[in-house]
Chain A
Amino acid sequence: MLKYLIRRLTFLFFSIFLASVSLFVLLRLLPGDPANALLSVGATPEQIAAAQHKVGSDLPLLQQFLKWIVQLFSLRFGNSLISGVAVAPEIASRMSITVPLTMTAFLLALIVAVPLGFVAAYRARTWYGSALNAISQLGIAIPVFWVGVLLILTFSLRLMVLPAGGFPSDGWADTAGALKSLLLPVLTIAIVMSASLTRYIRSATLDVLGSDYIRTSRALGSSYVEAMWRHGVRNAAVPVVSILGIELATTFIGAVVVESVFALPGLGSLLVRAISQRDYPVIQGVLFVSTMAVLIIGFCVDLIQRWMDPRLNKSLTATRG
């Protein structure tokens, strides 16, 4: 296991380095100039040159790259070309909204989806099993922004009990206000996410229910619940954990849509604005952080799976042998 951990960690660091190089190269391949965001219609050639000098887009690419790498290793990410503020604290401030938003929505979706998915599989042939199946399918088909719009319409515009968007100007210092602001966005993500998770859990449970080892366990006198508890849950959880990791990573990046609908100053809205302005340090910073989050989630999922399913270790040894 230790050997695996070291190998996996090396792979993680290599991936992060590769990601940072790709980020830099891909961004520079895009047409455009960050200096443009500082200019207005009527700018003179001297003003254009001054803007390019200010943002550093007149420097040779290699020099820009070395600057980026140095900043990366110090985890500072430089300063925004447009606003001039330091990127790292800005990302940290935005993450103080995006991380609680995605994590809470994820946990809520999980709490809802696990029992629903199990019931939908265990009672697949009953009317409520079919109903759960149909509802979860419908949930997947509805776009996330539409759920947000419907929640705003109901709870903000009609009932006027929750804010339609925005975040308190005092941030988390106004805890009650911040929680109120996040309630509808969390619900929006959780509703859509729980629909897809329910389906994954249902299908994983169905696979396990039809397996030979459950049948054998039943033949040896266990009830369905006992058989599932002893042998089924762990087996069903292995593919589900893999999906959970992907769902969490996708939601972290995909939160931009919900942030836009609810006017939340999160990581996604920072990225969208930075892209439109070609604000390289901000784009690089946000993407580096989100890529790192995705890779780390993947790393954790791998470890969890290995812990849950010892066969993975054995198969690795067998392959080597």
Chain B
Amino acid sequence: MNTKKFGKFAMVGVLALSLVTTTTNAIAADSNATINIGSLYEPQNLDNTGGGGQGVTEALNGNVYEGLFKLTDSGKVENLLATAYKISSDGLTYTFTLRSNVRFHSGKTLTSADVKYSIGKVTAANSQSARKSSFKVVKSVATPNDKSVVITLSSRSISFVYNLSYIWIVNEDAKDISASEDGTGPYTLGTWKRGSTLSLNRFDGYWGSAAKNKQVVFRYFTDATALNNALLTRAVDVITSEQSPDALAQFKSSAFKITNGASTTKLLLVFNDRVAPFKKPLVRKAITSAIDNKKLLQSIWGEYGTLTGSMVPPTDPWYENLTKVNPYNPTLAKKQLAQAGYPKGFTFRLDTPNYDPHPAAATFIKSELAKVGITVNINIITADQWYNNVYKKLDYAATLQEHVNDRDVVWYGNPNFYWGYNNPRVISLINAAEQAKSATAQTQLLKRANRIIVADAASDWIYLYPQIVVASSTLSGYPINGLNSQFFAYNITKG
């Protein structure tokens, strides 16, 4: 009997083991208010060069850390810790002048050595920065005096100043910033209770205008419904990015404000362009024309979201509406399939991440492609499996994935990228665009490249996610666009 009982507990023990499988002008706003921000994206750690993820950008970018330049909520690049810069006539040498009287939260004054250190952190061998490859062109960083930084490039880079807006300027004396910080922003880090909250406190020694609130508390949720309930019960004042469109109906009252801002997150049906049958552009075009992206967008996001027909969101300077290049037309799709040598269709595996909206999108795609004779085997995978099998091993035929950054059409100029799109004309246009002498020339070159990419249906750009911020109607000054997940909190007021 005793052994039997122990057996029961051992079973429970085994069960435990098996679990492993900007709206402003507020009236009478309280400058000492605490703003509670609800989010689904908790940072993994606090270092954006150490794999901190989307959450660390949302909470700390612009709030705790600042760059030489700032990407505003409307997508403009403005001076921040740099007050001016000069570019040499050959476009290879940039001289930056740093702002005076800027102090880190630890009290030290900002110098050019900190800037050099911060750039080195991003380009270092162990850097996990998503922007690392943008800085391959940096040949040397010199600091002729405390207030000047001279950066020499190996080739022209029209996006260089824009790219610098992603580099946080960190105190060179701060060794490990994965759980602490030493930035120059309007807030200092308060406490980070993992799995629950991260608080930011107004920094009294800030060089610019002080934050309009005393404290900001990011409250993290893993469940979208729990997050919505928190706003309904006023436990949070704003939701940075609403992910359940069905829930919006409950916020349609005078007590809340819903904003539909500009987003840079795209949902893609990615083809492995290296393998048959997807190495044939005609097959990719047929699939793109066989799927009613408009219907799919409506079924997932209702009245929200945008169709772009390409990788380029409307906030990128080289945006054009290219939805008509590969129109929804099943008859055309069948014709193209026959021309490509697949009159009876074919079968392929669609590797589908197990989180929303991918499984629903995959089911829709399966039923659409069945109408033109293509059989889709949906293979549900975890984010981890996606990274291993799809991204690293390239062991896939097609997959669904979202790409969050702006200006990322340039990935189609890299034939080694996971989708394997290799068009020499596009590669040369994208390289030429980066070395262009003016923004206008860059824009023209990227527009040409993008038209070719779309004509080749390199991927199917299903839709651009909406960026929906829901806030209590007493709140103002919050950012409404979700550019690269940043969420500036310093202008938010309550009351």
Instruction: Report whether chain A binds chain B.
Output: yes
**A contacts, CB < 8 Å to B:** 11, 15, 19, 22-23, 26-27, 30-33, 36-44, 46-48, 50-51, 53-54, 82-85, 90, 93-94, 149, 152, 156-157, 160, 163-167, 169, 171, 242, 245-246, 249-250, 253, 260-263, 265-266, 269-273, 275-278, 283, 287, 290-291, 294-295, 297-298, 301-302, 305, 312, 315-316
Q: Give Cα A166–Cα B291 distance, bound, in whole angstroms.
A: 41
Q: Are A164's CB and B232's CB within 8 A?
A: yes
CB < 8 Å neighbour of B15 from A11, A27, A253, A302:
A253
Q: Are A51's CB and B128's CB within 8 A?
A: yes
Q: Give Cα A246–Cα B9 distance, bound, in whole angstroms.
A: 7
Q: Are A265's CB and B195's CB within 8 A?
A: yes
Tell me the smallest distance from the CB of B40 to a CB of chain A, in Å. Answer: 11
> Is B17 part of the contact surface with A, judged by Cβ < 8 Å?
yes
Chain A residue at smallest Cβ distance from B217: A169
Interface majority SS on A: helix, strand, loop or mixed? helix
- Given known A26-B17, A47-B127, contact A276–B383 (CB-CB < 8 A): yes
Q: Give Cα A294–Cα B13 distance, bound, in whole angstroms.
A: 6
A315 neighbours in B (Cβ, 8 Å): 1
Q: Give Cα A281–Cα B385 distance, bound, in whole angstroms.
A: 19
Chain B residues with a Cβ closer than 8 Å to the other chain, count: 65
Q: Give Cα A165–Cα B219 distance, bound, in whole angstroms.
A: 11
A94 neighbours in B (Cβ, 8 Å): 195
> Is B329 part of the contact surface with A, judged by Cβ < 8 Å?
no
Contact with A along B33-52 (1 / 0, CB 8 A): 00000000000110000110
Q: Are A169's CB and B9's CB within 8 A?
A: no
CB < 8 Å neighbour of A40 from B130, B221, B227:
B130
Q: Are A84's CB and B226's CB within 8 A?
A: no
- Given known A37-B51, A38-B51, A272-B222, contact A54–B9 (CB-CB < 8 A): no
> Is B230 part of the contact surface with A, judged by Cβ < 8 Å?
yes
CB < 8 Å neighbour of B384 from A22, A36, A43, A249:
A36
Q: Are A163's CB and B12's CB within 8 A?
A: no
Tell which of B16, B21, B235 has the most Cβ of chain A within 10 Å: B16
Q: Are A265's CB and B194's CB within 8 A?
A: yes
Q: Are B179's CB and A169's CB within 8 A?
A: no
Q: Are B5's CB and A263's CB within 8 A?
A: no
Tell me the smallest distance from the CB of A212 to a CB of chain B, in Å. Answer: 20
Q: Give Cα A38–Cα B53 distance, bound, in whole angstroms.
A: 7
Q: Are A83's CB and B387's CB within 8 A?
A: no
7 pairs of residues in contact across A and B, judged by CB atoms under 8 Å: A40-B130, A94-B195, A166-B219, A169-B193, A169-B219, A249-B12, A294-B12
Q: Are A37's CB and B1's CB within 8 A?
A: no
B20 neighbours in A (Cβ, 8 Å): 23, 26-27, 30, 275, 283, 287
